[in-house]
Amino acid sequence: MCQNPEEFHRKQVQGERMLRFTVRAATSACVAVTVFDIVGHPAVVTGASMAPTLEGSDARWWHRDLVWLTPWGIHRPRVGEVITFVSPRDPDKIHIKRVTAVEGDLVRPRHRNELLLIPKGCCWMESDNPVNANDSNIYGPVSRGLLKSRATHVIWPPSRWQKL
Protein backbone atom coordinates (compact mmCIF):
# COMPACT_ATOMS: atom_id res chain seq x y z
CA MET A 1 0.00 0.00 0.00
CA CYS A 2 2.22 2.73 -1.18
CA GLN A 3 0.87 6.23 -1.37
CA ASN A 4 2.02 8.78 -3.80
CA PRO A 5 3.86 11.73 -2.21
CA GLU A 6 1.08 14.23 -2.93
CA GLU A 7 -1.56 12.08 -1.21
CA PHE A 8 0.75 11.51 1.76
CA HIS A 9 1.43 15.27 2.07
CA ARG A 10 -2.30 16.11 1.84
CA LYS A 11 -3.18 13.66 4.63
CA GLN A 12 -0.30 14.94 6.75
CA VAL A 13 -1.53 18.54 6.36
CA GLN A 14 -5.10 17.46 7.25
CA GLY A 15 -3.83 15.69 10.36
CA GLU A 16 -1.84 18.74 11.44
CA ARG A 17 -4.90 20.98 10.94
CA MET A 18 -7.07 18.62 12.99
CA LEU A 19 -4.47 18.53 15.76
CA ARG A 20 -4.22 22.37 15.82
CA PHE A 21 -8.02 22.65 15.91
CA THR A 22 -8.28 20.15 18.77
CA VAL A 23 -5.56 21.89 20.80
CA ARG A 24 -7.21 25.30 20.26
CA ALA A 25 -10.66 23.98 21.20
CA ALA A 26 -9.32 22.32 24.36
CA THR A 27 -7.40 25.47 25.30
CA SER A 28 -10.48 27.65 24.74
CA ALA A 29 -12.62 25.33 26.86
CA CYS A 30 -10.06 25.42 29.69
CA VAL A 31 -9.89 29.22 29.56
CA ALA A 32 -13.71 29.51 29.56
CA VAL A 33 -14.08 27.17 32.54
CA THR A 34 -11.36 29.05 34.42
CA VAL A 35 -13.01 32.41 33.74
CA PHE A 36 -16.41 31.10 34.88
CA ASP A 37 -14.92 29.54 38.03
CA ILE A 38 -12.68 32.47 39.03
CA VAL A 39 -14.08 35.66 37.51
CA GLY A 40 -17.78 34.87 37.25
CA HIS A 41 -20.61 34.54 34.77
CA PRO A 42 -24.07 35.91 33.94
CA ALA A 43 -27.28 34.18 35.06
CA VAL A 44 -30.98 34.81 34.44
CA VAL A 45 -33.13 35.36 37.53
CA THR A 46 -36.31 33.27 37.71
CA GLY A 47 -39.16 33.71 40.16
CA ALA A 48 -40.54 36.63 42.16
CA SER A 49 -38.96 35.97 45.56
CA MET A 50 -36.38 38.75 45.20
CA ALA A 51 -38.72 41.41 43.76
CA PRO A 52 -38.43 44.34 43.55
CA THR A 53 -34.62 44.09 43.79
CA LEU A 54 -34.45 41.37 41.14
CA GLU A 55 -37.21 40.78 38.60
CA GLY A 56 -37.57 37.23 37.35
CA SER A 57 -41.28 36.49 37.09
CA ASP A 58 -41.90 37.57 33.48
CA ALA A 59 -42.38 34.65 31.09
CA ARG A 60 -40.19 36.37 28.50
CA TRP A 61 -36.51 35.88 29.39
CA TRP A 62 -35.50 39.26 27.95
CA HIS A 63 -37.74 40.96 30.53
CA ARG A 64 -36.07 39.12 33.42
CA ASP A 65 -33.00 40.44 35.18
CA LEU A 66 -29.63 39.06 34.17
CA VAL A 67 -27.17 39.24 37.07
CA TRP A 68 -23.40 38.85 37.27
CA LEU A 69 -22.37 36.05 39.64
CA THR A 70 -18.88 35.76 41.09
CA PRO A 71 -17.38 33.22 43.49
CA TRP A 72 -15.14 35.92 45.07
CA GLY A 73 -15.77 36.25 48.80
CA ILE A 74 -18.40 33.52 48.92
CA HIS A 75 -16.80 31.80 51.90
CA ARG A 76 -17.29 34.91 54.06
CA PRO A 77 -20.82 36.09 53.32
CA ARG A 78 -21.84 39.46 54.76
CA VAL A 79 -25.25 40.67 55.80
CA GLY A 80 -26.93 42.42 52.87
CA GLU A 81 -25.21 40.45 50.10
CA VAL A 82 -27.31 38.64 47.50
CA ILE A 83 -26.09 35.05 47.23
CA THR A 84 -26.87 31.96 45.15
CA PHE A 85 -26.84 28.61 46.91
CA VAL A 86 -27.95 25.02 46.53
CA SER A 87 -31.43 24.58 47.98
CA PRO A 88 -31.21 22.72 51.31
CA ARG A 89 -34.42 20.88 50.40
CA ASP A 90 -33.77 20.14 46.71
CA PRO A 91 -30.12 19.85 45.64
CA ASP A 92 -31.15 20.15 41.98
CA LYS A 93 -32.29 23.76 42.52
CA ILE A 94 -30.26 26.93 42.97
CA HIS A 95 -31.82 29.74 45.03
CA ILE A 96 -30.90 33.41 45.11
CA LYS A 97 -31.56 35.25 48.39
CA ARG A 98 -30.20 38.01 50.62
CA VAL A 99 -28.01 37.22 53.64
CA THR A 100 -29.79 38.67 56.69
CA ALA A 101 -27.69 37.06 59.44
CA VAL A 102 -24.41 35.17 59.79
CA GLU A 103 -23.02 32.76 62.39
CA GLY A 104 -23.38 34.08 65.92
CA ASP A 105 -26.24 36.47 65.03
CA LEU A 106 -29.71 36.22 66.52
CA VAL A 107 -32.76 36.20 64.25
CA ARG A 108 -36.49 36.08 64.84
CA PRO A 109 -37.93 33.80 62.16
CA ARG A 110 -41.26 34.83 60.66
CA HIS A 111 -44.18 33.03 62.27
CA ARG A 112 -42.20 32.31 65.47
CA ASN A 113 -41.77 34.29 68.65
CA GLU A 114 -38.45 32.93 69.90
CA LEU A 115 -35.01 34.11 68.81
CA LEU A 116 -32.71 31.72 66.97
CA LEU A 117 -28.90 31.75 67.20
CA ILE A 118 -27.31 31.15 63.80
CA PRO A 119 -24.91 28.20 64.20
CA LYS A 120 -21.24 28.25 63.22
CA GLY A 121 -20.73 27.76 59.49
CA CYS A 122 -24.27 28.88 58.60
CA CYS A 123 -26.13 31.98 57.50
CA TRP A 124 -29.75 33.08 57.35
CA MET A 125 -31.11 33.73 53.85
CA GLU A 126 -34.31 35.68 53.17
CA SER A 127 -36.28 36.73 50.13
CA ASP A 128 -36.79 40.45 49.51
CA ASN A 129 -40.43 39.63 48.71
CA PRO A 130 -41.94 38.07 51.86
CA VAL A 131 -45.19 37.25 50.03
CA ASN A 132 -43.36 34.89 47.68
CA ALA A 133 -40.73 33.51 50.03
CA ASN A 134 -39.06 30.12 50.09
CA ASP A 135 -36.16 30.96 52.38
CA SER A 136 -34.58 30.31 55.78
CA ASN A 137 -37.95 30.98 57.42
CA ILE A 138 -39.01 27.69 55.82
CA TYR A 139 -35.82 25.59 55.83
CA GLY A 140 -33.73 27.21 58.56
CA PRO A 141 -30.07 28.30 58.51
CA VAL A 142 -28.11 27.52 55.34
CA SER A 143 -24.70 25.87 55.56
CA ARG A 144 -21.91 27.94 54.00
CA GLY A 145 -20.94 24.78 52.13
CA LEU A 146 -24.06 25.22 49.98
CA LEU A 147 -23.15 28.76 48.89
CA LYS A 148 -22.25 29.08 45.19
CA SER A 149 -21.72 32.74 44.26
CA ARG A 150 -22.45 36.40 44.99
CA ALA A 151 -24.70 38.41 42.71
CA THR A 152 -22.83 41.69 42.26
CA HIS A 153 -24.65 43.56 39.48
CA VAL A 154 -27.82 43.57 37.40
CA ILE A 155 -26.46 43.62 33.84
CA TRP A 156 -29.72 43.31 31.89
CA PRO A 157 -32.02 45.01 31.02
CA PRO A 158 -30.09 48.26 30.58
CA SER A 159 -32.81 50.24 32.35
CA ARG A 160 -32.10 48.25 35.55
CA TRP A 161 -28.27 48.31 35.52
CA GLN A 162 -27.19 48.52 39.12
CA LYS A 163 -24.72 47.27 41.68
CA LEU A 164 -26.28 44.96 44.26
Mean pLDDT, all residues of the chain = 90
Active site residues: 49, 97
What pLDDT, in 10s, does the model give residues 45-60? 999 999 999 988 876 7
Tell me: the pLDDT tens digits for 101-154? 999 999 999 888 899 999 999 999 999 998 878 899 999 999 999 999 999 999
Helix (H), strand (E) counts: the chain: 2, 10
Closest C-alpha among 51, 84, 80 to residue 68: 84
CATH 1.10.3720.10 fits 41-163, yes or no: no
Query: What letter represents residue 42's amino acid?
Result: P
Q: What is the pLDDT of residues 18-52, one digit of tens each?
A: 888 888 988 888 888 887 778 899 999 999 999 99
Give the Å distances, CA to CA, from 92 to 29, 39, 85, 137, 157: 24, 23, 11, 20, 27
In this prediction the pTM is: 0.79
